[in-house]
Amino acid sequence: MSSKAQKADHLIQINNLEIEGFSDEQWHPIIKGVNLTLKRGQVMGLIGESGAGKSTLGLAAMGYTQPGCRITGGEILFEGTNLASLRDSEKQKFWGNRMTYVAQSAAASFNPAHRLIDQTTASAIRFKIKNESDAKKDAKKLYKALNLPNPESIGDRYPHQVSGGQLQRVMTAMAMSPRPDLIVFDEPTTALDVTTQVEVLTAMKNIVKEFNTAAIYITHDLAVVAQMADVIKVLRYGNEIEEAKTRKMLTAPKEEYTKSLWSVRSLEKKPVEAQKPILEVKNIDAAYGKFKVLHNVNISVPRGSTVAVVGESGSGKSTTARVITGLLPQLSGSIEFDGAVLPKRLEDRTKEQKRIIQMIYQMADTAMNPRQTVREIIGRPLEFYLDLKGKEKEDRILQLLEMIELDGQFIDRLPSELSGGQKQRICIARALAADPEFIICDEVTSALDQIVQEGILKLLMRLQKELNLTYLFITHDISTVRAISDHVVVMNLGEVVEQGIKSDVFSPPHPDYTELLLSSVPEMDPDWLNNLNKKRD
Amino acid sequence: MHPVLKTVLGRLGLGLATLFIVSIIIFSAIEMLPGDFGQAILGQAATEETVAAFRRELGLDEPPYIRYLQWVGGAIQGDLGTSFSGRNASGTDRSREVIDLIAPRLWNTLFLASVTAIIAVPVSLFLGITSALYRNSVYDRTINTTTLTTISFPEFFVAYILILLLASLYPIFPSLANVDASTPLNERLYRSALPAFTLTLVIVAHMMRMTRAAIINLLASPYIQMARLSGASQTEVILKHALPNAWAPIATVIAFNLAYLVVGVVVVEVVFVYPGVGQLMVDAVTSRDIPVVQGCALIFAVTYILLNLIADIIGIITNPRLLHPK
């Protein structure tokens, strides 16, 4: 093959790329000599955990580096032009023209001050690909193709006036509007609910196929990438682990690391014997101001078990937790703990009633005072609830650290000196410090990488066995539910749709919503999305 | 009712409430000033009976709340009372209405403030936007250092340097800015040039740096990265994507500086012998002319509240979330 023909075939060729990022007063390598070749019309999935450099590499394919990053070696050839050697003003001719970008958070990535249609068409008009009226007509067609409601008028709205899933589709329309050769999708469905994710994935997949656009699809979700990509590249710590065709990668990964990513979901919990309920939520109605969010919620939690509450955003699962803890007094109904009714308001509960119910939060980062050391963070409930002081307290802190599998030297660390998983472990230790019987885990693993998630879940299960703890586990992630729960409560729009033993809830027949929810969870099968859409049509 | 109108009316109500509280504070603060007007005017030699009679004549013997209500009641109708000065022990009364004392001075102050604002606000915005545009360039650093220097010097120092340069060494402008009601506009502008220039140098730094900071703060937003990745040039990014979202903090700092131009420029007035309201108030404090002090303080309060209200409203109408509710 002549070199010219090869050029035409290869849209992007990245050779031995090195990128550094500036933090803690020095430059650190982020991408350490990665190669990447993308053909026209091909979709490549970039996967890896946080810190793998997948977003940095995806943006680098456009010749873009985030502020605080720099390219220190290698080349990025786009149809033979080395983007790495161009100045920003020269790269602007490619951005929004030949290549476009779809960001993770559409809500943050649309300018709040401008109407959607103006933002959708800006690039196509800027590069004179279409005139204004054609660009707008085309945008409306794209909105329609992406299954947006009211495609004729939705563009007249401002970003805050439409939902997250719709915004993500508008952003895809925006990326498609100049008919680029390449679209970089940067975790475009990570922030969406599963049922919305299915729609957005389908829309993106179809439109990329229709216009034969090449794409780089960045995600940490293997099942999602399996639907979208022709080839998959696995990254870790800025190095390439391996690359293969999607089907081959899913069935026969070569590297140990890839296999470990694939096997994360092998966690399985042995069912515990049914015991008397420790906590009963009875006929709860609750509201934020005039806006009613919970309608007659009933949940029963057997002692020593894990009850998973699943649902999408707005389903009322976190509100239920707030009512149980007394942070949001209910309008009607009651919360019974060991048969005794708990006062509605946190202020009216005794110290003992507060002690036995503890909570662990999704964002370990913001749930800890950044100026307190681990000693102070864990020591505070020991002092407050159990009156421990001095050596006794110190010994107990060390004991708790041992329980969460952290070394005693962590006692003097600040939260900023801990990794994401370690932070969440400290939050678990803080909850345990009160010596509780019942712990509410609110999306505790949602912000963590899969391998770290597995560690946290295993820890929680071990602690449950050792300390006979009861968990109310709030999550939107069905695979986590499958892994760790005994009982499952499905919530939607502030109501309990279904509840029962895990095996019952997960086996048909299902109520409509449970069916929709369960069928929307992506599977590792590359044909899953196509089959699902066939079935739904 | 449109939610923006509702919010604006709400803010207006709050402004009035603030004004009410401020009026109480002004009144009480002056109540607590040491010394006595009667004693001060009549001198140490005056007998207690004379002082008491004098106080009675001025109404100073009434209980404070009555005097407060009289004062506020008058102020609402535009009557700030009668000045204490012009009276003396012999009983002759050449005192004037406070409003007549303040009005011409206030007009002068507003004139100087407007001239300064007309120069300073566009200059600050321009410098702020361009220095954000060319962040960390030589231009940006020069602008930053220069404006920081001018704000770091005391006002009187800047004023005297300008007099030295532009009135003494190169006599372009007069060093005295003594205007009165009969001064024609062009003469007024000419005479006010140096004080206006001084004030411009004093306030530009603050507004310019805030504009720059507000824009640069937004440059880290995901939507700015998005704009860059859709091919927008640096100029377009700043003007079309950052600036429309930066008006609220910019308006606040402009309001703050405009308020300063009305209420805080007494030093500059003194240096240039400009007959503004600041000097009037200082004189009134020295002579314990309580009605004038109260009148000035109240007008200053109104200025502050009004300008901040306007800044608030700008913040509201440039926020699409409020302007275009769901």
Domain ranges (residues) in chain B: 106-287
From residue B145, alpha-carbon distances to A166, B136, B138, B140, B154 in Å are 47, 12, 10, 9, 16
B293 CA to chain A: closest CA distance, Å? 45
A-chain CB neighbours of B220 within 8 Å are 67
pLDDT score at A1: 40
Work out whether strand A99-102 and strand A182-186 pair parallel, antiparallel, or are unpaired.
parallel
pLDDT score at A282: 93
* Structure-block tokens of residue B271: 């240096």
Query: By the CB < 8 Å criterion, does B172 face chain A?
Result: no
Predicted-assembly ipTM surpassing the 0.90 threshold? no
Give the length of chain B.
326
Q: Name which of B223, B318, B321 is nearest A109 (Cβ-Cβ).
A: B223
Question: Do the chains contact at B229 and A127, CB–CB below 8 Å?
Answer: no
- Residue B88: pLDDT band (50, 70, 90) is low
Q: Percentage of chain B surpassing pLDDT 90?
A: 48
pLDDT score at A297: 94
pLDDT score at A445: 87
Question: Do the chains contact at B320 and A158, CB–CB below 8 Å?
Answer: yes
* Structure-block tokens of residue A398: 């060390």
B125 CA to chain A: closest CA distance, Å? 20
Question: Do the chains contact at A95 and B228, CB–CB below 8 Å?
Answer: yes
User: DSSP per residue over A82-148, as a string?
Assistant: EGGGS-HHHHTTTBTTTEEEE-S-HHHHS-TTS-HHHHHHHHHHHTTSS-HHHHHHHHHHHHHHTT-
pLDDT score at A147: 82
Residue given tokens 């002690």 in the structure block: A355
Q: What is the mean pLDDT of residues B246-265?
A: 91
For residue B254, report the phi and psi dihedrals to the nearest 5 degrees: -65, -45
Query: By the CB < 8 Å criterion, does A508 face chain B?
Result: no
Q: Name which of B220, B230, B326 is nearest A95 (Cβ-Cβ).
A: B230
pLDDT score at A369: 92
pLDDT score at A483: 86
Per-residue pLDDT of chain A (537 residues; tens, 9 = 90+): 444 444 457 899 999 999 998 877 889 899 999 999 999 889 999 998 878 889 999 999 999 998 888 999 999 999 989 999 998 889 999 999 999 999 988 888 999 999 999 999 999 999 999 999 999 999 999 998 888 889 999 999 999 888 888 898 899 999 999 999 999 999 888 877 888 888 888 888 888 888 889 999 998 888 889 999 999 999 999 999 999 999 998 888 888 888 887 765 667 777 777 788 999 999 999 998 888 889 999 999 999 999 999 988 888 898 999 999 999 999 999 999 998 999 999 999 999 999 999 999 988 888 999 999 999 999 999 999 999 988 999 999 999 999 999 988 899 999 988 888 899 999 999 999 999 999 999 989 887 887 888 889 999 999 999 999 999 999 988 888 888 899 999 999 999 999 998 888 888 888 889 999 888 888 888 888 988 988 887
Instruction: State how far the Cα of B269 lies from the Cα of B277, in Å rounded to an integer.
Output: 9
Query: By the CB < 8 Å criterion, does A96 face chain B?
Result: yes
From residue A7, alpha-carbon distances to A2, A11, A37, A74 in Å are 9, 7, 11, 18
Question: Do the chains contact at B230 and A103, CB–CB below 8 Å?
Answer: no
Going through A321-463 in order, the beta strands assigned E by DSSP cover: 332-337, 340-341, 357-360, 438-442
A-chain CB neighbours of B233 within 8 Å are 89, 92
**Which residue type is seen at B160?**
Y
What residues contact residue A355 under an 8 Å CB cut-off, 6+ apart? A385, A434, A435, A436
B-chain CB neighbours of A67 within 8 Å are 220
Query: By the CB < 8 Å criterion, does B222 face chain A?
Result: yes
From residue A519, alpha-carbon distances to A233, A385, A473, A512 in Å are 27, 45, 21, 11
Q: Which of B136, B217, B230 to mutate to test the interface with A (most CBs of A within 10 A)?
A: B230
Residue given tokens 């009557």 in the structure block: B79
DSSP alpha helix (H) spans, A263-412: 317-325, 351-356, 374-386, 390-403
Query: By the CB < 8 Å criterion, does A122 face chain B?
Result: yes
Question: Do the chains contact at A122 and B229, CB–CB below 8 Å?
Answer: no
In this structure, the number of other CB atoms found within 10 A of the CB of residue B180 comes to: 9
8 A C-beta contact, residue A454 and residue A264 = yes
**Domain A277-371+419-506, CATH homologous superfamily name and number:** P-loop containing nucleotide triphosphate hydrolases (3.40.50.300)
Work out whether strand A495-501 and strand A69-78 pair parallel, antiparallel, or are unpaired.
unpaired
Query: By the CB < 8 Å criterion, does B226 face chain A?
Result: yes
pLDDT score at A266: 66
Q: What is the pLDDT of residues B37-68, one digit of tens each?
A: 667 667 777 778 888 887 787 777 788 888 88
Residue given tokens 């102050």 in the structure block: B109
Q: What is the pLDDT of residues B272-314, one digit of tens each?
A: 999 999 989 988 888 878 888 889 999 999 999 999 999 998 9
8 A C-beta contact, residue A416 and residue A370 = yes
CATH topology of domain B106-287: MetI-like fold (1.10.3720)
